Each structure stands twice: as structure tokens, then as C-alpha cells.
Amino acid sequence: MTSTEDRAAATALKVKGNEAFAHHDWPSAIDFYTKAIEKYDADPTFYSNRAQANIKLEAYGYAIADASKAIELDKDFIKAYWRRAIANTAILDSQNALRDFKTVVRKEPNNRDAKLKLAECEKMVKKIQFLKAIEVAEPPSAFEGLDLDSMQVEDTYDGLRLKDEMTQEFIDDMIERFKNGKTIHKKYVFQIIKAVRDIVYNEATMVEVDVASDTNLTVCGDTHGQFFDLLEIFRLNGYPTEKHGYLFNGDFVDRGSWSCEIALLLYAYKWLRPSYFFLNRGNHETDDMNRVYGFEGECKAKYNEKTFKLFSESFSALPLATLVGKKYLTLHGGLFSDDKITLDDIRKLDRHSQRQPGQQGLMMEMLWTDPQPQPGRGPSKRGVGLQFGPDVTKRFCENNGLEAVIRSHEVRMDGYEVEHDGKCITVFSAPKYCDSTENKGAYINIGPELKLEYHQFEAVPHPDIKPMAYAQNSLMSMM
């Protein structure tokens, strides 16, 4: 039986959690709510508050479990139904989200905001059903019939002209245009995407690179449409050259509202320096995420629907991993459900036969999994994929002669984190993520000695455009 003192202590911990939440320190908030639950586990608000903090950290699976526990304790707890609906929306489980929004409206029939969200969720369910109905096994290539030669650039276009090859001068002009809120001509957009799609299509599923004696390589994590923070990386660390390579480890797009600018700039550098600039696919370089989290809407708003289709097909051609100096496997998500998976299995994976990662299999795991502190494997805190422990990482590194796995995919308050006895490294390069998380950004420099140097940086000011500005419904802006 819980004592009055324990309840009071638990409530005090909840208050501390609320204070941490107000300061956008989601991990500390979760820690306080967890301690409150350990003191007293019958208060539904503890679970509901932790659910909201988990939503902020994109731990949607955990959020659903917490909201469900709150509902179990109080069947009329409207906020818990609401948060569970938001978390299910985030993992694209619109059917379960719809059920909870209906419950909220039934219990609060005069709640106008709930009615609006219910209508949006119903629209989302219908759209998903429609897309499934028209889905074909082998859609035609978006590049089929793309006649760049016949596309005219108007005399009124005030940007630098692009010919048959990318140049540093064009990139410099493009950066200035993007900084000033301008776009580039859609012919050049198509030209850049096509050139890079052709380059990356012919790269291995796992690109293998060495760091030569007079060069270095910078590994960056998620940039998520935060264009001005990407420019800050280049300002602090140097722009890409033949002596200074870069590897961007997925999730270039979505959430931030300059995803087109980031994708085009990274692609332009890939075209200019294909042997010194590398791109891994992330879980947000996929159609279902782009439709919900803003990139599709941004492409249509800034250019046209064709632009999104071209990007979509180019994303599916991106490599899934990069092996640096035979020591560091770099991939967006993490490790696998089977200890028998080796680097050779990644090498042999035919990524071209499956454009989208699906709900299971090697590609899905490479894009979606996360580390956990406990040994073994566990269910995903996201509700998609799985989690792997330090023993899993140790076995994988030993079996494949690796020093460590470098991955991204998760916010880290310090911009990076070294886990699993130094064998699992997370790097995240979107500081003040979505303008709402007080995290630093980070990148890793690797020299010819293959030592890792971690660099942190702060977010920089950007024009007053909110994250998720191009998401197709306001459900997503709540996350």
C-alpha cells in the first residue's frame, strides 16, 4: 500500500517533470515522470504526461503504451485518448488514431478542435485507402519521358545558368538564392535530381570508403530540413572539397521547412564531387513519411508534383550504408533482429528491387532500429522496428571486424552519444530540433588515423517559417 508520503513525493517529482517539459528538456521530464510512477503507479496523469514527453522524443510506441495505461486507470481521461491518437497518427496507424479521436468527440461533443482533428484523420484514412487501391507493383519511372533539352529557362530568370555539369559557382549562387527565399528553375531541379539518381543508383548498397592520408571525412546525422543549420556546419567545419569529404547519414528532409533546399544542396555536392560526398538513405527518405511530415507538400508548394516523384525515385536509389575505413559501419537506424546478419548480407541486398522499406526485413531494420541499454532485443519505442542491446552490438562488431557502428535517427541532447561500451555512436545534426527541443547539433570528423572527433554546434536564426509548414494536415504540427 502506498503511503501518503510516497504520493506526495510522487506529485513533487511530477512537478519537476513538468518544469523540465516546460524547458523542452524531454529526457529529464521522462526521468522525473518515471520516478513519480515508481513512487506511486496509480495516477493516470503521470503516464499521460510521460506519453507527451515521449511524443516529443518520437518514442511513439512508448507514448501509446503510457496513454493506454492512463486510460486503463481512468476510462474518461480525455487527454490520454488524445495523446494516443496523436502517437498513432505519427506512426501512420490512422485507423487506431481515428478510433481515439472518435472517443474524444463522443465524450466531449462540444470540443470543436477534436471535431476538426477527427475530420482530418478521416480524410487521412481515406487518402491511405485510395493510395493502396491505385498502387501498382511496378510503377513507371518518373524519369521516363523527362526531356530536359526541351525545357526552356526564361530570359527573366535571374539566377546563374547550369549547363551539363555541376559547378561550384552554381552551388554558391544556389545557396545565396535559398538564403534569400528564392528557388532555382525547375529545369535545374530536374537536372540535379536526375544526375544524382544516376550516380547513386550505380553505387553499392554499402559504399566502402577509405580516408586517404591527406584528407578527412565528416559524418553528419539528421538535418531534417533545417537548411540554415546545415550552412552553419559548413561555416564551422568547411565546405566540401576533394580533401574534405562529407557523409550525410539520412533524414535530410521532412519536419523542417527547407527540405527542398537541403536536398538540392546535398544533391548538387554529390553531383560535383561524387567520390568525396556520400549520402545514406534514412527512414524519412520514403514516400509514406514524406506524405505526412511535409516534404511532398513542400515540393508541390515550391516546385511541382513532378519534383516530388523524381525525388522519391532518387531516394529509393540511395545506398543504405557506408563502411568507413573498414572500421565504422555507418547507417541511419541500427542493427538487426538476427545475429547472423553480416556485412556481406548488406553488400548483397538488392535495394533496387524494393523501392520502399515496408514493415519488415533487412532494409526496414537498417532504417528504423534503435539501441537500448538493456541486453538482448526489445520492442521498438517508436512502434516500428525493434531495439538492440549492447551485447547485440558487441557480437555484430566482433563478427564483422568493426570498431563501432555509427548511426543517427534519434535526437540526442548533446548532439551525439556514445553507447554500448563505445561500439554504438549516435550523431544528430539538427540543433533545436523542430524549434522545440533544446538540443545541440553535432558532427564527427574522421581523419586518416580513423579516430573520431566530435564537434557540437548550436542552432542559428532562420526566417520565421515554422517547422511542418508544408505538412498536409494540422495533426502533424502538434508533435
Q: How many domains does the chain have?
A: 2
User: Does one domain contain both 49 and 73?
Assistant: yes
Q: Give the separation between CA 293 and CA 476, rounded to whole angstroms.
A: 7
Q: Provide the residue type at 461 as one letter.
A: P
Query: Is 76 part of a structural domain of the chain?
Result: yes
Of 69-78, 94-103, 239-248, least confident by mean pLDDT is 94-103
Of 237-241, 312-316, 473-477, least confident by mean pLDDT is 473-477
**By residue range, what is the domain housing residue 186?**
148-478
Residue at which a domain ends, from 134, 168, 188 = 134
User: Does one domain contain both 182 and 254?
Assistant: yes
Query: Is 448 part of a structural domain of the chain?
Result: yes
CATH number, domain containing residue 17: 1.25.40.10
pLDDT digits over 120-175, tens only? Answer: 888 888 877 777 777 766 778 999 999 999 999 999 999 999 999 999 999 999 99
Among 23, 24, 224, 284, the one annotated catalytic: 284
Highest mean pLDDT (candidates 114-123, 321-330, 357-366): 321-330
% the chain with pLDDT above 70:
97
337 touches 377 (CB < 8 A)? yes
Q: Provide the residue type at 100 as one letter.
A: D
Residue 468 — very low, low, confident or very high, per pLDDT cuts 50/70/90? Answer: very high
pLDDT digits over 214-234, tens only? Answer: 999 999 999 999 999 999 999
What per-residue confidence (pLDDT) applies to 100?
Answer: 95
Residue at which a domain ends, from 91, 110, 134 = 134
Query: Is 34 part of a structural domain of the chain?
Result: yes
Residue 475 — very low, low, confident or very high, per pLDDT cuts 50/70/90? Answer: low
Query: Is 140 part of a structural domain of the chain?
Result: no
User: Does one domain contain both 205 and 321?
Assistant: yes
456, HSE (Cβ side, Cα atoms, 13 Å):
10
CATH number, domain containing residue 436: 3.60.21.10
- For the cut 70, the answer to whether the pLDDT of residue 301 exceeds it is yes
Q: Give the separation between CA 14 and CA 28, rounded to whole angstroms.
A: 11
pLDDT digits over 44-67, tens only? Answer: 999 999 999 999 999 999 999 999
Residue 202 — very low, low, confident or very high, per pLDDT cuts 50/70/90? Answer: very high
Is 185 a known active-site residue?
Answer: no
Q: Specify burial of residue 264 (Cβ count, 10 A radius: 0-12, 13-18, 19+).
A: buried
Query: Is 339 part of a structural domain of the chain?
Result: yes
Question: 441 phi and psi, to 5 degrees?
Answer: -100, 165
User: Does one domain contain both 17 and 128?
Assistant: yes
Residue 474 — very low, low, confident or very high, per pLDDT cuts 50/70/90? Answer: low
User: Does one domain contain both 320 and 446?
Assistant: yes
Residue 359 — very low, low, confident or very high, per pLDDT cuts 50/70/90? Answer: confident
Strands (E), 241-399: 244-248, 277-279, 321-324, 328-331, 370-371, 377-379, 386-388
Q: Specify burial of residue 218 (Cβ count, 10 A radius: 0-12, 13-18, 19+).
A: buried
User: Does one domain contain both 93 and 173?
Assistant: no
User: Does one domain contain both 8 and 82?
Assistant: yes
Q: Give the separation between CA 385 and CA 354, rounded to whole angstroms.
A: 17
Radius of gyration of the chain (CA): 23
% the chain with pLDDT above 90:
87
What mean pLDDT comes out for the span 248-266? 98
What mean pLDDT comes out for the span 10-39? 97
Residue at which a domain ends, from 103, 134, 165 = 134
User: Does one domain contain both 201 and 338?
Assistant: yes
pLDDT digits over 191-200, tens only? Answer: 999 999 999 9
